[in-house]
Structure 1
Amino acid sequence: MADPLDDGELAGDGDFLASFGETLLQTLDLGRWAHGLDLEDIMRTFREQIGGAMRKEDVLRAAVRQELLPLLKTGPHAPKGAGVYHATEAQLRAVHDGYLFRGNVEAVNGRAVSHDTLALGITQLGIAAVGYGGSSGTFSQRLFRKEVTFQMDDPFKQAREYIEQREVRSRKAPRNKDSLSRLATRGIRTYAERAILAERLQAEWRIGMGNPLAYELITGSGYRTLLDASLEMLANLIDRQQKFVFVTDKLEHRGFLTLGHSLDTGEYAILETLESYGQEILEGWRYDDEGLAKASRFVQRYCPQVVMGLYRASNNSPPRLFYAHQEHVHFAVRIAMADSILRPEQGYPMLLDVASMTCHSVFGEDGFQGLVQDAYAQADPSLQYLNVRKMRR
């Protein structure tokens, strides 16, 4: 998956002007920058910009609702049952009473924190599974990347090789940790969240975050072992589990989210299967021949079984993208909506937030860094290998 710092949306001066309403040269002109912090002027500008943007969105929302929503049933990628539906209060109340509050729904969320120095890199992965009956468990893994691993038979030659190796790594990824750290924080965590959801929980229904067929799993993040394990695990999730719903909290698929803003409270839309999404991955990722064959078979068989949709739990909250098995999509979205209306101002499943808070409490950065610093102090009282200063982001 592309790094979030690599913004592919802006591709030239013309795009900058269209996006920000001024040329890049104007933005770089320090004579146009404000001196100091004038809160009154800042708030006036914010009110003008936000108010103008919201009024334009309201006009767009009315047009989308009237003209485009009715076309979802006949779109080029419309799956069986595509269109707009309404979940009634009675249906959502039945989900509360019969599933959520009886502990028949559990959610999984994960967290990754890292510590990186010249001597050692440590990544802690934590996953929490929760339901309204209480926590179903926490799971953790810690990875230690030691760069100096060999016996120094030729100290001069090997020291020189390590200096060159570290410099090359730094130049290839100046804004990120290296690919192994990205694998740990993205690929392995994403895999573990879905594997625990599919294989370790007992509840009839499970809630996850993001796209169940995540990009880093369908590609293996460049690692065949992760690719093989991911495709097997996801096949089990779709074939055997089926009763799942995944919800995203990011501004992904902004075009679809624009459709979602035209929904009213309690409405949901079924958009399309993940067939085109899977094909885009196959066409854009560099697999070896065997990996491409495995990924292609998976995409062909399983992507048509997972549908993407939108729901809106409240007019006071943003729309949410969801993913579910095509055979259970209507009940799946009711599970997500019923959990989301518990906090109508958020419109997001509360169980996912509870799982996130559990991860923060058990596997949070403060506790992790405290343990690391204590261990460094015991191993090296001078702390020369501990980088305690947080870098600017």
Structure 2
Amino acid sequence: MALEEKNDGRFADASAPGASNHGYADRFAEDFAADTLEAEFREALNLDSWTAGTRMNELSVRLEREVEKAVRDEALIAPRVLDNLKRGLEVAKDRSTESGIYTLTPELVTGALKNIVFNGQLEACDGTRVTVNTLPLSVVQIGICVTSYLGNGGGETIGHRLYRRDILRHFDDPAEEVIAFLEQRSRRRPRNIAHGEFGDDGQPMSLSDMMCRALMIYGERAMLTDRSTSPWRLGHGSPMPHELIVGSGRKDLAEASLLMLRRLTLEHKKFIFVPSEVSDPVVVTISNALKPLQYAVLRNTKDIVRGVWEGTSYERPHYERSGLLQKVKDFGEEVGGKVILCVYRASSLAPGRIFYAHEDHVHEAAQIVMADSVLQEARGFPNLIDIADRTCRGMFEPGALGAQVHAVMARTGAPFRFLDERSTRA
């Protein structure tokens, strides 16, 4: 395959013989063999194929053989993965103008560390949340922290608590009050997650994990957008989280999120988002096939936003009448066309990682995220995100909230009445 070197030392595929009209993911997926898990599952339905707990050591030989073979096969296929990727990127419908595979030099990484990362030009944000669910009360605590390497690293930290009680005295008739109370509590989801209010689509809304997560990640991205003062902003997860685009059942959250994310992605532009994990095994495989200090610019992210509304509740007439569906479609076209999905690998020990950046600054972003990630040779994950996470968890210690709630319950004479069975198991 002919490769053409660009003036800045980057490489791009100059010819793609035999390339199809499919994207790189479709072409690459065709090389995989069928999954063998189904056969393993069918065998496991017969208990005679199981091994007694006292003889589990007899399975160690196969375990070692399977692990060694899997790791060896993964290493052997890596060059083929990159070859297919180079061919596929040239013809992929969702490719970016910057799509390609690039290799950074140690000098470029060191320069990014000195001039950006350690020079206060980069701030990272992360959040934490803890929920204490009891029968009479649910409490959610959300904390957000922004930090950098400049000075002592201390940045702005904010927190918020949400409370949900079932017993709210709205009725003069005691019988009517009890009936309404029992009906409301009957709508609770498992594990004492309460709900009884209604979202904009007329469906019951809850103080659910999705809602609390949505508030936390909204706070993280709003802090980066409106409170951070550094040129570069580093976030954890996706720049366009599903929870924010759908609003977790609330139109006001969805609309506020779309406006805020537009300011960050289309106006500020100098952002980097790194998720802890990605559900697409093809993207993960490509990232692991890279060599150390390599990164690949894959494609735009229009399909991510499109997946939010295609075939989901967003296609209900309610969302179209409210105008929210069209706003989401416009957002996906404008923002998804500029936000780029990339992969990188910081060291020979670390797994490949994924990051998102703006198309206009994707190569600067790659240098910055690579520089911060090489500081953790084994993890290959941005160190500043980990610092923000540890700072946030230290400021908003998760066990303290539960201890305080249970201490108050003990003081009121109910130390154990509202604890679930597992929490009292010795």
Report the TM-score when normalising by structure 2: 0.81
Asked if the contact 1:118–1:385 (Cα under 8 Å) also holds between the matched residues in 2, the reply is: no
Q: Which amino acid aligns with 2:157?
A: T
User: Counterpart of 1:169 in 2: which secondary structure?
Assistant: coil
Asked if the contact 2:141–2:159 (Cα under 8 Å) also holds between the matched residues in 1, the reply is: yes
Question: What is the match of residue 127 of structure 1?
Answer: 144
Question: What is the match of residue 382 of structure 1?
Answer: 414
Q: Please identify runs of 4+ aligned residues in structure 1 that moved more than 6 A.
A: 174-177
User: Counterpart of 1:23 in 2: which secondary structure?
Assistant: helix
Range 225-234 or range 180-189, more displaced: 180-189
Range 361-370 or range 107-116, more displaced: 361-370
Question: What is the match of residue 241 of structure 1?
Answer: 268
* Cα shift at 1:177: 6.7
Check 1:368–1:265 CA distance in 2 against 1; reply closer, same or farther (3 A cut): same
Indicate whether 1:93 and 2:77 are aligned. Answer: no
Distance 1:103 1:74 in 2: 40
Indicate whether 1:47 and 2:64 are aligned. Answer: yes
Asked if the contact 2:166–2:184 (Cα under 8 Å) also holds between the matched residues in 1, the reply is: no
Of 404, 410, 425 in structure 2, the residue corresponding to residue 371 of structure 1 is 404
* Cα shift at 1:223: 0.7
Q: Which amino acid aligns with 1:381?
A: G
Q: Which amino acid aligns with 2:400?
A: G
* Cα shift at 1:36: 3.0
Check 1:166–1:203 CA distance in 2 against 1; reply closer, same or farther (3 A cut): same
Asked if the contact 1:120–1:144 (Cα under 8 Å) also holds between the matched residues in 2, the reply is: yes
Check 1:40–1:99 CA distance in 2 against 1; reply closer, same or farther (3 A cut): same
Q: Which amino acid aligns with 1:382?
A: A
* Cα shift at 1:240: 2.5
* Cα shift at 1:17: 8.0
Question: What is the match of residue 316 of structure 1?
Answer: 349
* Cα shift at 1:37: 5.4
Distance 1:39 1:108 in 2: 45
Distance 2:45 2:169 in 1: 49
Distance 2:368 2:54 in 1: 46
* Cα shift at 1:98: 0.8
* Cα shift at 1:52: 2.1
Q: Which amino acid aligns with 1:131?
A: S
Q: Which amino acid aligns with 1:145?
A: R
Which ranges in structure 1 are unaligned for 5 or more consecutive residues? 1-15
Structure 1 segment 135-150 matched on structure 2, within 5 A:
135-150=154-169
Distance 1:169 1:175 in 2: 6
* Cα shift at 1:101: 1.2
Question: What is the match of residue 84 of structure 1?
Answer: 101
Q: Which amino acid aligns with 1:108?
A: C
Distance 2:312 2:342 in 1: 25
Q: Which amino acid aligns with 1:383?
A: P
Check 1:250–1:183 CA distance in 2 against 1; reply closer, same or farther (3 A cut): same
Question: What is the match of residue 72 of structure 1?
Answer: 89
* Cα shift at 1:176: 6.8
Range 257-266 or range 175-184, more displaced: 175-184
Q: Which amino acid aligns with 1:155?
A: P
* Cα shift at 1:259: 1.3
Asked if the contact 2:164–2:194 (Cα under 8 Å) also holds between the matched residues in 1, the reply is: no
Which ranges in structure 2 are unaligned for 5 or more consecutive residues? 1-33, 196-205
Question: What is the match of residue 363 of structure 2?
Answer: 330
Question: What is the match of residue 382 of structure 2?
Answer: 349
User: Counterpart of 2:94 in 1: which secondary structure?
Assistant: coil
Question: What is the match of residue 326 of structure 2?
Answer: 293
Asked if the contact 1:70–1:83 (Cα under 8 Å) also holds between the matched residues in 2, the reply is: no
Report the TM-score when normalising by structure 1: 0.88
* Cα shift at 1:236: 0.8
Structure 1 segment 111-126 matched on structure 2, within 5 A:
111-126=128-143
Distance 1:366 1:90 in 2: 44
* Cα shift at 1:70: 4.0
Asked if the contact 2:138–2:193 (Cα under 8 Å) also holds between the matched residues in 1, the reply is: no
* Cα shift at 1:374: 2.3
Residues 325-353 of structure 1 deviation map (CA, whole Å, 9 limit, x = unaligned): 11101001111110000011101000111
Asked if the contact 2:125–2:388 (Cα under 8 Å) also holds between the matched residues in 1, the reply is: yes
User: Counterpart of 2:187 in 1: which secondary structure?
Assistant: helix
Distance 2:192 2:102 in 1: 44
* Cα shift at 1:355: 1.1
Question: What is the match of residue 19 of structure 2?
Answer: none
* Cα shift at 1:144: 0.2
Give aligned pairs, total: 373
Distance 1:385 1:236 in 2: 48
Check 1:139–1:250 CA distance in 2 against 1; reply closer, same or farther (3 A cut): same
Question: What is the match of residue 305 of structure 1?
Answer: 338
Distance 1:200 1:182 in 2: 26
Between the two proteins, what is the percent identity of the paired residues? 30
User: Counterpart of 2:363 in 1: which secondary structure?
Assistant: helix
Q: Which amino acid aligns with 1:355?
A: A
Distance 1:177 1:334 in 2: 45
Asked if the contact 1:123–1:184 (Cα under 8 Å) also holds between the matched residues in 2, the reply is: no
Asked if the contact 2:349–2:378 (Cα under 8 Å) also holds between the matched residues in 1, the reply is: yes
Distance 1:255 1:176 in 2: 35
Asked if the contact 1:109–1:128 (Cα under 8 Å) also holds between the matched residues in 2, the reply is: yes
User: Counterpart of 1:108 in 2: which secondary structure?
Assistant: strand
